[in-house]
Chain A
Amino acid sequence: MIGPRHLLRIQCIGCVARFLGTPVQRLILPAGTHLQTPGSQHNYGQLLRPLHCSAVCSTSRPSQTRLEKTVEDETLNKDKSLVTHDDLFERAARDSKTKADFNRVVDVFNKKDIRRRGHVEFIYAALKKMPQFGVERDIAVYNKLLDVFPKEVFVPRNFIQRMFNHYPRQQECGVQLLEQMENYGIMPNVETKVLLAQIFGEKSHPMRKYQRIMYWFPKFKHANPFPVPHVLLSDPVELARFSLTRIADDLDAKITIYQYPSTDITETGEEVMRPHILGIQSPDQRSLLAKHNPCRPVFVEGPFPLWLRKTCVHYYLLRADPIPPEEKVEEEFDPEMIGPEQSLFYPQRVELDLERDMGDDFSFDVDNVEEGPVYAMCMAGQGDQATLSQWISGLQETCPILGQIPTVFRLESGPRELQTSSDAQQTPEQEVEMEQIIEEEPLHSQRVKQ
């Protein structure tokens, strides 16, 4: 990134400008930054803009003229409607909604009017539409949106302006943009800072917001010891592998792929889907299973949900009821071998009639709930009994005792198929929920600001 250098340069300009007062800017800037046209004072920000916009693609498309026209229409009708910019996005990208489309809309808006009339409304509308275009996690897009603000105009120039809330609506809009970034967990970068400094000045509300985000975000970046990637693996086998290792938090646990997904064509010409079956079992579980009393049944239960961000996957358990106390066998050791006075293997107990002193007993009184052992876990492409019994027969290879134990399938009629991430994201309920969250944000951020 060349950001830091920009920042430095711009800050220098800022300093000089502050010292010398506005009229001088025109004299200094062209020389200092090699800008082509010394424009009006209002143009100051725009002159610098190419620096920041360079990364953003501004491809001209055949539809551009049409779009520009719509935009012009919109500006003409501006007084009539408040939600015009929403429509702009809708109309601009009826068929496809991609990052490029989004950028195009922003470009068009930028080019349409040198004064950027209605930019606050536009930014609000754009923020709202971001999830639909799938750009809500893209820092470049946020920066591009921020770039819509005219530069230098909202920077307070004297102490009175600085004292009062200078251009409150614009500042609030800037805060709102940062707030949305925050909610999606996007960390602003140096470019964001440069833009904010240009737009609102060093001590504005958005700058403060930026600083707060930069204080807390790095601190919390690794707060979750079990991170889930934003983009999940698309291969169901790999996804199942990831999910199973996540649940079975045992480094010794081994994943076995009992069946890869495949499609067979039978003699009659039918296509038969063979779902994937992945199981996980740790050595401890295996030895527990080997000790299982064959008279007691084991259960295959499920599906149980596991949420990975917005994706839900399902897994199945092989478990048994807790061992009744009368059947528990205490493993006996030869007292000669573990007792005192032996140096071959160190003494593992001393024969004393003394308990630990209360002052040195830091253990908690924990009421342990006895649960039955879980012997193995699996994830499969299908949750029917036939598929799962394939898993059980696969397990028998390592645990032959399983062949003698009655296996009971207790399957609930849950979702039988694995939900992919795209399925999950497009369920209407969730989308509504998400929008609600975003809509609530302005209130929330106002509260925080005060």
Chain B
Amino acid sequence: MNLNKLIVLSRSVKLGRNVFAARDCLHHFQSRRSIRSSARSLAYAKDLFLGKVNKAEVFPYPEISNEELEEINQLVQPVEKFFNEDVDSMKIDHEAVIPPETLNGLKELGLFGIQIPEEYGGLGLSNTMYARLGEITSLDGAIAVTLAAHQAIGLKGILIAGNDAQKAKYLPKLATGENVAAFCLTEPGSGSDAASIQTRATLTEDGKHFLLNGTKFWISNGGWADIMTVFARTEVVDKDGQKKDKITAFIVERAFGGVTSGKPEDKLGIRGSNTCEVTFEDTKVPIENVIGEVGGGFKVAMNILNNGRFSMGSAGAGMIKRLIELTSEYACTRKQFNRSLSEFGMIQDKFATMTLNAFVMESMAYLTAGMMDRPGVPDCSLEAAMVKVFSSEGSWICVSEALQVLGGLGFTKNYPYERYLRDCRILQIFEGTNEILRMYIALTGMQYAGKILTGKIKELKKGNVGVVFEILGKKLKDSVVRTVDFGLTGKDGVVHPSLTESAKMFEQNAAHFGSTVESLLYRYGKTIVEEQLVLKKVADVLINLYAMTAVLSRSSRSISIGLRNHDHEVLLTNTFCKDAHFKNNYLLTQLQKNSPENNDANIKKIAQDVLAKRAYICSHPLDRTF
């Protein structure tokens, strides 16, 4: 990769200690970076860590062609009708099972093979269109999870890493829903701990089969899946001739034998979906059922998960849009103190929150989907993870607010709000918990920025006068002039002039973020991994920045092509950007050294005190000593 070359080059250049040499090498870095940014690299979020805005990646907002739009609209209508008329979510939730006729209806609509290419009998839709359908399927959490477990993760392995024979053998039946797929990775001992995958596949003596042994936990569709993507340890001889355990992905049919499913888990939400334990006992898997290559399973798992997450944004938005319809009906008809609820400021606040969240989620989801649909091998895992984190948390807040609008009524089972609340709690947990994803977001960016900035920081640490002066000068200039310009606005701007103020706010944050990342790398180096509270803030800033980008891009397009109600979008964009700007400012201030706003040390101490005793340790307020 071009990045590696860069590192090699920077090392080969012997960095001199005198001023001129240092200035020289700085020029090297800068010139090289500018070359890089002009090349198409498909790394918008990562570049933000360097304080760069790769505007070509995100402006203009991705569009689909008219034919595609027509196709999706034709698809959406019957699906919407089906969900409104034939799906009884309350019954599914109560009985904790999706009735077969509902499942058949879903199969007939082709929803089991949305992304499977048409040649294998699927709908062959793009990520963008998948996201669009996700808006509707999310109206019932159990169905959404069942479908996602089937195609977003269950069969994705065959789709992205399987060979033609595997695809031809399995995809047609999966596309029609005749076979249901599941994704078996998590194990009892390995929630988030890589080293503890215990399921093992051993090669039989004839070398044609693997014998699979082990237990998998929390498997969605585990009770009735016929085809499973299973990850297991296999012994691999690496290039040094040493035997090592590596993860390998297998396609396992239930028909292979030795597969047993446990009792379905009784869950808080998404109760209609089937989650259970799956045990493999000497399951004989033919060697041609290995996905990818032996020992390459981990990459497969990552690719499946990394790219499946974006759809949660549109799903969340779909749900919130429905909730807004339901609650606004109530708020406008319900009278209290001779005024309807909708006239109260605090109720209005809730609707604004819901609208903003839905708008931002939608914008982020479709921006990411659009980026993923571009030709080439896009790496949007960071963006997808951000969409997931933002939308899962936003959904939780919005559902809770919607419930609050109804007050006590919302708390009863007569209304769907409590079910939505329970269902959407899982969003923050599955497909990588939000904590892990925040770590991933922050550390991936740090790693990327670190590779490029290491040379410069090292010079600075060595006390190279030239570099120090250069940086001081730059800071001085920044503080005096205070204009950050990434070219979003102005003559060749990509943002519509009516959003100039928001764009400026974004630019300011982005620049500030870049310099913060640099100082964090300077301060922590590779030990940044241990600074989880710092990384959390970094991830939050980045998520806000990406959200700002998404809304800026989307509404600029809306204004420019004159979509209906684009003035409302401008309002939403400006509101969100202002809000996010100040949140970012606060977070970035907290990230400064010795910042009084930063409470991390205390937070850690509190937790340590409590965890050492494994209890709340304060004396009771009524206790006495004499």
Contacts and interface: CB of A to CB of B under 8 A. Distances in A.
Interface stretch (B33-41, B327-335, B436-444): B436-444
Contact of B523 (A333, A334, A357): A357
Contacts of A356: 523-527
Interface in B478-499: none
B432 interface: yes
Contact of A357 (B436, B454, B461, B625): B461
Contact of B443 (A336, A346, A354): A346
A186 to B, nearest CB: 11
Contact of B432 (A189, A336, A344): A344
B75 to A, nearest CB: 30
A334 B194 contact: yes
Prevailing SS type, chain A contact patch? loop
Contact of B305 (A334, A343, A350): A343
A164 interface: no
Interface string A332-360: 01101110111111111111111111011
B101 interface: no
Interface in B424-459: 432, 435-437, 439-440, 443-444, 446-447, 450-451, 454, 457-458
A345 B193 contact: yes
A125 interface: no
Taking residues whose C-beta sits less than 8 angstroms from the other chain, chain B's interface range is: 35 or more
Contacts of B437: 343, 346
B302 A346 contact: no
A346 B532 CA distance: 11
A251 interface: yes
A337 B194 contact: yes
Contacts of A353: 454, 458, 526
B413 interface: no
A349 B437 CA distance: 15
A15 interface: no
Interface string A187-221: 10100000000000000000000000010011001
Residue among B244, B299, B626 with max Cβ neighbours from chain A (10 Å): B626
A351 B614 CA distance: 35
Given A218-B625, A350-B526, A345 B447 contact: no
B444 A347 contact: yes
Contact of A217 (B245, B247, B529, B626): B626
B614 A350 contact: no
Contact of A344 (B301, B458, B523, B529): B301
A118 to B, nearest CB: 33
A359 B305 CA distance: 39
A218 B246 CA distance: 61
Given A251-B614, A350-B529, A356-B527, A343 B195 contact: no
Nearest to A219: B625
Interface in B527-551: 527-529
Interface of B: 185, 192-195, 244-247, 298-299, 301-302, 305-306, 381, 385, 432, 435-437, 439-440, 443-444, 446-447, 450-451, 454, 457-458, 461, 521-529, 593, 614, 625-626
Given A217-B625, A222-B625, A354-B525, 8 more contacts: A337-B298, A342-B298, A342-B440, A343-B302, A345-B193, A346-B443, A350-B447, A360-B593
28 contacts: A217-B625, A217-B626, A333-B195, A334-B244, A334-B245, A334-B246, A336-B299, A337-B194, A338-B194, A340-B444, A340-B447, A343-B305, A343-B432, A344-B301, A347-B439, A347-B443, A347-B444, A350-B443, A350-B447, A350-B528, A351-B447, A354-B450, A354-B454, A354-B458, A356-B524, A357-B461, A357-B522, A357-B525
